Structure 1
Amino acid sequence: MKIDVLSIFPTMFDGMTGNSIIKKTIEKGLVDVSVTDFREYAEGKHQTVDDYPYGGGAGMLLKAQPIFSAVEALQERTPNTKPRVILMDPAGKRFDQKMAEEFAQEEHLIFICGHYEGYDERIREFLVTDEVSIGDYILTGGEIGAMAMMDSVIRLLPGALGNADSAVTDSFSTGLLEHPHYTRPAQFRDMDVPEVLLNGNHKLIEEWRERESLRRTWERRPDLLDNYTLSDQQQKWLDEIKRGVE
């Protein structure tokens, strides 16, 4: 996979790409990440990337020309791929695990990180393929949102994680929140690991995990169950959970 990022603060991405799983995934050659300062593509002596909005109003807008020129230059470098051009914007579609899984299937992603009051509307209308938001709040720029999305996508690439099952069983990947986890010691300050996890019966362990995943989802994110098809057994467990039956 190829990931390009357009930002006027490219060094913000150094910490992300130089550490942990993302760094290892880059070193393995599973993903190629490049961050470009789109100011370099701005015309004029001062390489201005923003200007006042027509009609007046508060704040400055990112100009169309530098971003169009930068995206076109990136596309020329990879003429055999059709990139998804992702605009980081609070008015965009809410990012979720399903979208991460969709983006992970692409060959080339281009993230556009905004600043100031917003973008020239022609960027939305004629350049980008996706407008995406990470939540209903405002940040000073799109970099943090882009990093969150990139992390979520890159870890889904085959070979990125040490255990391939990790991404499959993550919260939201199955449609439910993930079950509780425990590690050694079995007893810590009079707090015990559930006995079922210690008995070696893998069938019972899997049933416990599935039930606890269902319990956690109902207690913390019941909205996820609205679009989740329960099996007969899961429905029985959910009914028992709601009645407080252990």
Structure 2
Amino acid sequence: MNRELSVAGIDLFAYSVLGSTNDEARRLAEVGRRGPLAVWTAVQPGGRGRGGRNWAGPRGNLMVSLLLHPDRAPAEAGSMALAAGLAVANCAREWGADACIKWPNDVLVEDAKLAGILLEAGSEGGRLDWMAVGVGLNLAEAPALDRPTTCIGPDVPVETALERVVEAVLQRYRQWLAGGFAAMRDEWLERAAWIGRAVRVGEGQGAVEGVMRTVDENGSLVVCDAAGVERRVAAGEVFPLES
């Protein structure tokens, strides 16, 4: 069932069950709906994270996507995922979780995954046509994944989290439109996980290993390799290296 409501001052498409909120946001964009608008579902059996990984969406957790239409170059889109991660991490801290951000799109509590951001976009004529910013936040339940997970706990209702997270992501989106990721970089770094830690970024022959130094003004990860060379990485999965 689809109900068209509102949340944080924008249109909300609400479902009892939906395969993927990002897929629905994309569909709405393709049929001409203009954002900002939000797509929320109580249960999401077909959710996914980066790289197509499964992201369980049981009842009691938050699964929501924002459909946005920034007039920006496609290369700029990725840094909006960092902005959304900062928004979600700060919300989690308001609810008592010691949340930090793992570049580029995870929110952690003591290395356990609390939330994930999935950003997908379409472009036309060299400019972004639409952008879907998906948020999966473990509220009542920590789903079983191939890595440690955690949750906020039952004291934060889904309705409360929905309103606050949508509001917070929209605030960061407006800040991102005005000044890019650079406008919030210092605050993002205050919440950053694994700075100073030995990591591997990516897999296979193209992987980069070294010490995570910082994130630059464009949102790229800066890793210092064994030769002392700073390597900038625009996208990829980060894995900790054993000390």
Greater per-residue strand proportion: 2
TM-score by length of 1: 0.28
Greater per-residue helix proportion: 1
TM-score by length of 2: 0.28
